[in-house]
């Protein structure tokens, strides 16, 4: 299992050092939650902050856009150093155009599904994607409880990927930690986002190691 610590749970006054700390602790990717206070009821940070913290690691930057109009900002996040950009299928942007724009910038593209969005919603785009991110909490805040009832959705997406012979990764995000990682792994998730479970651990490197073993 690849582990992507969510910087949403870090100390924002020293985000660069926090990223370096996660790099040393064995994180595979850095998960950066961008929220606009419109698509979700919370505001975090945007491309300028990502650009400032980019030099603190060589690990991939996995940028999760929880914003209403992702298409408008793809160039900004590409310029800031994103390696993977995921946008919500429920956003207002033209999905095909946004995926195309991401790919044209040489970046990996992913679509994110909120808990109420069914697996089938992503099927028309699967062939163009590098990754599907399945939310296991309502997006907006860290520290929420894991929704185990999202696992059938993970399985349905996985089945479709296998059926078509694609190599699209499945990522899950929200409430993942020691108590829930086994279920996530069993359902077929390739990359797990973990905020609270890693940042609030006494020893983040041990926490990452335990999760990555699944
Ligand atoms: C929620 C974010 C998640 C969140 C995960 O909107 O997308 O990445 O920070 O945090 P935990 O692991 O604490 O649920
Ligand atoms: Zn996220």
Closest atom of ligand 1 to CA, residue 143: 13
What average pLDDT does the segment 76-100 reach? 98
Candidates 28, 62, 130, 173; catalytic one: 173
Give the pLDDT confidence of 191-213 residue by residue, as tens digits: 999 999 999 999 999 999 999 99
What is the reported pLDDT for 176? 98
Closest atom of ligand 1 to CA, residue 8: 9
Is residue 115 very low, low, confident or very high in pLDDT (cuts 50, 70, 90)?
Answer: very high
Is residue 30 very low, low, confident or very high in pLDDT (cuts 50, 70, 90)?
Answer: very high
Give the pLDDT confidence of 36-50 residue by residue, as tens digits: 999 999 999 999 999
What is the reported pLDDT for 185? 98
Q: Decide if 11 is catalytic.
A: no
Instruction: Decide if 207 contacts 14 (C-beta within 8 A).
Output: no
Nearest 5 degrees, angle CA 96-CA 128-CA 63? 80
What is the reported pLDDT for 214? 97
How far, in Å, from the CA of 79 to the mean position of ligand 2? 20
Q: Decide if 173 is catalytic.
A: yes
What is the reported pLDDT for 93? 98
Instruction: CATH number of the domain at 123, please.
Output: 3.20.20.70
Is residue 140 very low, low, confident or very high in pLDDT (cuts 50, 70, 90)?
Answer: very high
Number of domains in the chain: 1
pTM assigned to the model: 0.98
What is the reported pLDDT for 171? 99
Give the pLDDT confidence of 157-182 residue by residue, as tens digits: 999 999 999 999 999 999 999 999 99
Ligand 1 pocket: which of 142, 179, 192, 196 to mutate (most atoms within 8 A of CB): 142
Which ligand is nearest the CA of 140, by number?
1
Is residue 24 very low, low, confident or very high in pLDDT (cuts 50, 70, 90)?
Answer: very high
Ligand 1 contact, 174 CB (< 6 A):
yes
Ligand 1 contact, 140 CB (< 6 A):
yes
What average pLDDT does the segment 95-112 reach? 98
What is the reported pLDDT for 42? 98
Mean pLDDT, rounded, of the chain? 98
Domain with 68 in it: 2-212
């Amino acid at each position: 299992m690849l582990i992507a610590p969510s910087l949403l749970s870090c100390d924002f006054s020293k985000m660069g050092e926090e990223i370096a700390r996660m790099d040393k602790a064995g994180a595979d990717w850095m998960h950066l939650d961008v929220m606009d206070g419109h698509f979700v009821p919370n505001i975090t940070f945007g491309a300028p902050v990502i650009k400032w913290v980019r030099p603190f690691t060589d690990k991939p930057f996995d940028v999760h856009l929880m914003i209403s109009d992702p298409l408008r900002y793809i160039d900004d996040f590409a310029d800031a150093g994103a390696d993977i950009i995921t946008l919500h299928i429920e956003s207002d942007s033209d999905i095909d155009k946004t995926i195309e724009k991401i790919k044209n910038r040489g970046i990996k593209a992913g679509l994110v599904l909120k808990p109420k969005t069914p697996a089938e919603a992503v099927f028309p785009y699967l062939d163009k994607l590098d990754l599907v991110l399945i939310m296991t909490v309502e997006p907006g805040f860290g520290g929420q409880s894991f929704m185990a009832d999202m696992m059938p959705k993970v399985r349905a997406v996985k089945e479709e990927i296998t059926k078509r012979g694609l190599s699209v990764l499945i990522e899950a995000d929200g409430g993942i930690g020691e108590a829930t990682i086994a279920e996530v792994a069993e359902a077929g998730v390739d990359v797990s986002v973990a905020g609270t479970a890693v940042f609030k651990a006494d020893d983040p490197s041990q926490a990452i190691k335990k999760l990555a073993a699944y």
